[in-house]
Structure 1
């Protein structure tokens, strides 16, 4: 029985918490205009299931594609990058990885279609968000990883505007300006999450024809992009709160700037040494996951 479910490692379960925190932010915004009741909770759980399915799908398809291309056999895995190693250890689960990925895409699409049929007035708001999200899931590994600037923006677009706005619009019945502004924060943070995780994989990615931003710009200039995105995310959040464009409680997310600053200093000191890079990658994960959750908690508590 030991190892019976090891094949589920391709969904990288411990990283799915990122989808949960981004959905939590969308829920917090929606609760500004809709009462918390049983119907709201049921809808929120269904939205969360769709978000988790989408995140699991992109992870599984990424593992499938990376093993098929040979990348998994060349990558030096870290606790934060390089995939799960599931298929390297058990290549017989390759078909299951593909099935999980396609099944996640199908489940996400079905949930989105359900909300569209139930709220046809939102067709022109939800349909583009859903279509863009599904396209990102399917196209990320085979296509976007060969286009460095699109590859940079894809994670933030998926977890920021698409996930936060999609959640808020489904639950509140309309898109809000505050949701659009708040979604820009995880947009920048999640871009950085994948960008920094590409640092250890430069040689392996190059060997299979990928072209990522650290390969295009070099590590030093890529660290500059990381710093710029952290700065824009947190300075933008501060501006939105001070201007009264978003609920004041969202300012709790500014606490995420502290580990981001520490990560940036480590990378500026030495972006290649494991002694600097691995702690910075851990801090980067913490920033990306915790900041949307802190924003949501702040909005609900204050």
Structure 2
């Protein structure tokens, strides 16, 4: 029993579950800055749903990668190549997959409550999210274009805008703008993590952007997208959609600059330079957290 629970826990990739929590913090602060008084109980349910959604896709992805043999062919880093949980305990494959679908069922139940609360519009966010969870490992990873944008769609426009709508009953220009920044950061997160796994991914039939266009081209895309995200943040502040206190988000330029330089010079050596993957994770987590802090500061 203990080994089953440990395997499931590792396959959930708990450190990665910080991302939906940070994004829910940003949703919460944006709603407050926009003048809404929201229910903390509802916000808690929304945050739980976001974490469950991410846990579900992690579990199902681990199960699919173990089944296809992909995780046996990758060289793991803390940020890519799978958790290794099912390589250590392959007999628990059905438990990991089963718990992934249990999380999915729980998410559907919470979604029905949100639909009851806010109406049919929530259904459209939910059905898109469920599709991305179920289709990601088996189908989406075989499309260079869709696999590039699917992670950002899931965490940005779907998760953030959907959560804001459930919390407030409306959608604001501010949350849409922020969700587009998150769209870029999360796409970049997954894009860079694919660099070390190119040959392993190709061997099991995946055909993502890095395989289709090569690491040199994708490193340029990564760097351009990173620059665009900070330009987008500047535009939101300039337009008055975010307060000047949101300039705190630019503090992560101290991480983003060495990150883009490193990717430019070492895009074929990311397996040997996991510090670049770590910098990328830090940018993705800290930038929205600092923007949320700026929103909180502006309300004081």
TM-score, normalised to structure 1, is: 0.94
Whether contact under 8 Å (1:64, 1:98) holds in the other structure is yes
Whether contact under 8 Å (1:267, 1:276) holds in the other structure is no
Whether contact under 8 Å (1:25, 1:295) holds in the other structure is yes
- Cα displacement (A) at 1:273: 2.4
Deviations 1:186-221, CA, capped at 9 Å, x for gaps: 110000000000001000000000011111111111
Deviations 1:218-256, CA, capped at 9 Å, x for gaps: 111100110111111110110110111233333322222
Distance 2:290 2:150 in 1: 23
Distance 1:135 1:267 in 2: 32
- Cα displacement (A) at 1:276: 6.6
**Which of 166, 170, 176 in structure 2 is aligned with 1:174?**
170
TM-score, normalised to structure 2, is: 0.95
- Cα displacement (A) at 1:4: 5.7
**Which of 23, 32, 35 in structure 2 is aligned with 1:33?**
35
| 1:9-158 equivalent positions in 2, closer than 5 A | 9-31=10-32, 32-35=34-37, 40-120=39-119, 123-124=120-121, 126-158=122-154
> Hey, what does 1:285 align to over in structure 2?
281
Distance 1:275 1:62 in 2: 21
Distance 1:30 1:290 in 2: 19
Whether contact under 8 Å (2:248, 2:294) holds in the other structure is yes
User: How many pairs align?
Assistant: 296
- Cα displacement (A) at 1:274: 4.5
Segments of 5+ residues of structure 2 without an aligned counterpart are none
Distance 1:223 1:201 in 2: 15
Gap change, CA 1:140 and 1:237, over 3 Å in 2: same
